[in-house]
Amino acid sequence: MNNGQEQFLQELADLMTRHGVLSIGFEASIGVCVFKARVGDPPISIRVPDPYIARPSELLDAVNKSKADRDIVVCQYCHGKAERVTGKEIYPSRRDLWGKKFLRCQPCGAYVGCHDNTGKPLGTLANSHLRTARKNAHTSFDCLWRNGAFKRHEAYGWLQNRMGLSAEKCHIGSFDVQQCRKVVDEVNAYKQRKKEN
């Protein structure tokens, strides 16, 4: 094992300790890292391609993608595990939101709303800066279909085209700050073109 491999495994062990890992193993014959995370009963097993190729951040993606029947969401800011909370904890002064579901990372305060029926996150965890950018993007974008310029599904098709994203990837709730700014810029450019015509 070389220094890079040792350093990676140490970073992996530290990361996994923070997330309640029960075991880590490497199956050299098939080039897969296997670890078990303690997230209720029974623990889930997550398989990740060769850990000597992956980076710890890619393993966070693997944790988030390997939800199985549980919603395991790892914070992209502090790598803490998000917890289910209600709107009362996020918005104590907004009684109308107390019954809503959220995922929140307690250490850093990032959170995301969840679908009422399924409890699945509406996007990715967001800090204050990203939440503001997403609100601005939605405010700008939503006027396209609310004012009748497009039907709602047409507006999303337009946005997918302008952003160069598939329907599965084109959700403002999953956008980063830069993507949110692009939404605002694209909508403003569309409005400007409409004025000029």
Question: Which residue, among 162, 161, 177, has the nearest Cα to 124 in the 3D structure?
Answer: 177
End-to-end Cα separation, the chain, in angstroms: 66
Q: pLDDT of 7-30, one tens digit each?
A: 666 666 666 666 555 555 544 444
Q: Tell me what pLDDT residue 181 has.
A: 97
Q: pLDDT of 51-61, one tens digit each?
A: 444 555 555 55
* Residue 137 burial by Cβ neighbours in a 10 Å radius (0-12, 13-18, 19+): buried
* Residue 60 burial by Cβ neighbours in a 10 Å radius (0-12, 13-18, 19+): middle
Q: pLDDT of 56-96, one tens digit each?
A: 555 555 555 544 334 567 888 888 888 899 999 999 999 99
Q: Supply the angle between the helices 177-196 and 128-146 in degrees, to the nearest 10.
A: 30
The domain ranges of the chain are 3-65, 73-125, 128-196
CA angle centred on 80, ends 183 and 35, rounded to 5°: 110
Q: Tell me what pLDDT residue 12 has.
A: 62
Confidence of residue 44 (pLDDT cuts 50, 70, 90): very low
